[in-house]
Structure 1
Amino acid sequence: MRTPGPNSRTLRGVAATAAVASLAVSLAACGADSDAATRTRTDAAGTVTVGALSNGAAQETTLKVSEVKSISAELPKSIAAKGTLVVGVGALPAGSPPLNFVGSDQRTLTGSEPDLGRLVAAVLGLKPVVRNSTWENLFVGVDSGKVDVAFSNVTDTEERKRKYEFASYREDNLAFEVPKKSTWNFDGDYRNLAGRTIAVGAGTNQEKILLEWKAKLAQEGKKLTVKYYQDSNATALALNSGRIDASFGPNPAVAYHVTQNAKSPDPTRNAGQFSGAGATIQGLIAATAKKDSGLAKPVADAINHLIENGQYAKWLAAWNLSNEAVKTSEVNPPGLPLDNS
């Protein structure tokens, strides 16, 4: 696979606060063996605690979740027999807050993605085993059967459907981050960017989209200035000093920044979103299993159970990702077309 999804290069390069950055070092240390199972949080029977050990990235919330027999009955016999769900996360080497990173105990992988994997396992009546790896080895794990299903910000694409089956669970969105005091908002129309100076990461999907908008504006005699910075700390300084109007990046990264900056002298906010798949299709993030494994349907049904009973909304809210909610989990929904995968 060429990339983890249209937004993932930037997500993996997000600079965290000093405390989280130090934890990232621990993540690399505790997961040097890409096939090793990462420590999984143990909850009381019938409960799953999300946002635990998050070092301020989430609001810890305990949810009541029990096995649903009608859904667990759909599991492939081999999975039901072993009684565990091996959840793959491609968080090495540094993690991607708020999606996946080592927790404040410096041992346990936390984040919105492993949390959802544990919620789904609870509905399926299985014990979750979180297996951490590099992005490349995540797919090797799924291919080899060492990983049952990946919850790791994987974008649903038509190219990937050749080898994998999907159960969607989040929208794949980009977002604009601005100072909280800013009155500017992106309304979904590229012409709204005329006269603005926007920072973006080089070589990312969001850069591709932004440069397309810049070219369109130029044809209309309007100007959009695009700026590049070495890392997110430099981008934040430029944003706070007024040298740029906004930064454009993956919505989860923006959600994380907003959470971390909330009580700082320079709070920020989300000023609008855009599909990571572009204007013609809503990108989707999906649980990923080996094609014809028979896991996509029970996983999707488990997610829909969580949606219907409110635990899904609380999971997203805990991680400040409510703006990426889907109404329903779908099995193999339309993905990025082959010419944009």
Structure 2
Amino acid sequence: MPTSRTHHRAARRSLTAALALTTLALALTACGGDEENSASVAAPGTKPGQVTIGALANGAAEKTTLRVPKVASLHAKLPQALRDKGELVIGVGALPAGSPPLDFVGSDQKTLTGSESDLGRLVASVLGLKPVVRNSTWENLFVGIDSGKVDAAFSNVTDTEERKRKYEFASYRQDNLAFETNKTSDWTFKGDYKVLAGQTVAVGSGTNQERILLAWQKKLKDEGKKLTVKHYPDNNGVYLALRGKKIDAYFGPNPAVAYHVHKSAGSPQPTRSAGTFSGAGAELQGLIAATAKKGSGLAEPLAAAINHLIKNGQYATWLKTWNLSDEAVSRSLVNPPGLPLSDS
């Protein structure tokens, strides 16, 4: 089984495979020679009590400005040191290449945008703090949390029991995988692997979704049925095969699938999401969570701020803006059950 970090990194690899053109642009946001390979980057559209989400999204989202005033009672829940500092340093692990719709270089070719940093800025506004987005490599994201240079990561971090040894969590989105098919296909996945019999499915090599798919392939083989699994060097190859009907479906991270479905909507060969599956497996709904250093006292106020956004509708607008409504949670939880140690 892969480690929890491998689980996350593998999912991110499949998210970024088709994004080679953004690599140089995003790398330019980092300060050359920075020993932690990270840099504070501009956060578009943030004013006191007002946050613009979906800015510079280059068609990945609909730009929307929301009124998000400070909630004094939630500000009071923050650790005194953070109240004194007056800012929330939001960690993002998107170097060297971004991953739409989560975090990527905007249409101005220099500003980091995406669903994850947008939520971080919404939370900061609720808590009455100035948002400061700090971008780094995935490994240095956690170095930043450990060192105190990052207050909280909003970067598609999966809640796992292994990570709870060092970090505390406030959940905000389901961690799902998805099947993508041509829009003309009526094949649908509703959680039962048996519908994969007779199908040809592409998946990223070395990913968590590949592990799940190969396990289903073995079950079907034991039942005398066949599932053909194919690999391609990048997402361009996957989508050429899908359009050419050389494969029936692609199995990848739900945000990446949602992004591609949205982008292909106006093309001659649009695609659709044919169903989702928890990245943690059939027995547990995986969760993505804001991540802070264990003992920092941040998980509770972060969860309270997210729940305020849920109650007042800004959370639903945020998800809809980024075409991620199917990953909504009804409530943010502090340190909910995570991916078990046996799967980490």
TM-score (norm 1): 0.96
2:95/2:135 contact within 8 Å kept: yes
Unaligned stretches of 5+ in structure 1?
none
1:239 is aligned to: 242
For 1:1-341, what aligned pairs fall within 5 Å after superposition? 4=5, 6-14=7-15, 21-32=20-31, 33=34, 34-341=37-344
Instruction: For residue 261 of structure 1, report the CA deviation from its aligned partner.
Output: 0.8
Instruction: For residue 14 of structure 1, report the CA deviation from its aligned partner.
Output: 3.4
Q: Give me the whole-angstrom Cα distance separating, in 2, the residues matched to 1:23 and 1:45.
A: 31
Instruction: For residue 7 of structure 1, report the CA deviation from its aligned partner.
Output: 4.8
1:283–1:214 distance in 2 versus 1, CA, 3 Å:
same
Unaligned stretches of 5+ in structure 2?
none
Instruction: For residue 64 of structure 1, report the CA deviation from its aligned partner.
Output: 1.1
1:98/1:253 contact within 8 Å kept: yes
Partner of 2:28, secondary structure, is helix
2:158/2:287 contact within 8 Å kept: yes
Instruction: For residue 47 of structure 1, report the CA deviation from its aligned partner.
Output: 1.2
Amino acid at match of 1:29: L
Amino acid at match of 1:14: L
Instruction: For residue 162 of structure 1, report the CA deviation from its aligned partner.
Output: 0.2
Moved more, 54-63 or 44-53: 44-53
Instruction: For residue 4 of structure 1, report the CA deviation from its aligned partner.
Output: 4.5
Instruction: Please give the root-mean-square deviation of Cα atoms over the aligned residues, in Å.
Output: 1.5
Q: Give me the whole-angstrom Cα distance separating, in 2, the residues matched to 1:250 and 1:65.
A: 30
Instruction: For residue 25 of structure 1, report the CA deviation from its aligned partner.
Output: 1.7
Q: Give me the whole-angstrom Cα distance separating, in 2, the residues matched to 1:39 and 1:23.
A: 17
How many residues in Structure 1 have an aligned counterpart in Structure 2? 339
1:4/1:154 contact within 8 Å kept: no
Q: Residues 117-140 of structure 1, C-alpha deviation per residue, up to 9 Å, x if partnerless?
A: 000000000000000000000000
Amino acid at match of 2:318: W
Moved more, 32-41 or 85-94: 32-41
TM-score (norm 2): 0.95
1:23/1:103 contact within 8 Å kept: no
Partner of 1:329, secondary structure, is coil
Instruction: For residue 23 of structure 1, report the CA deviation from its aligned partner.
Output: 3.8
Moved more, 220-229 or 35-44: 35-44
2:22/2:98 contact within 8 Å kept: no
1:28–1:131 distance in 2 versus 1, CA, 3 Å:
same
Q: Give me the whole-angstrom Cα distance separating, in 1, the residues matched to 2:258 and 2:195.
A: 22
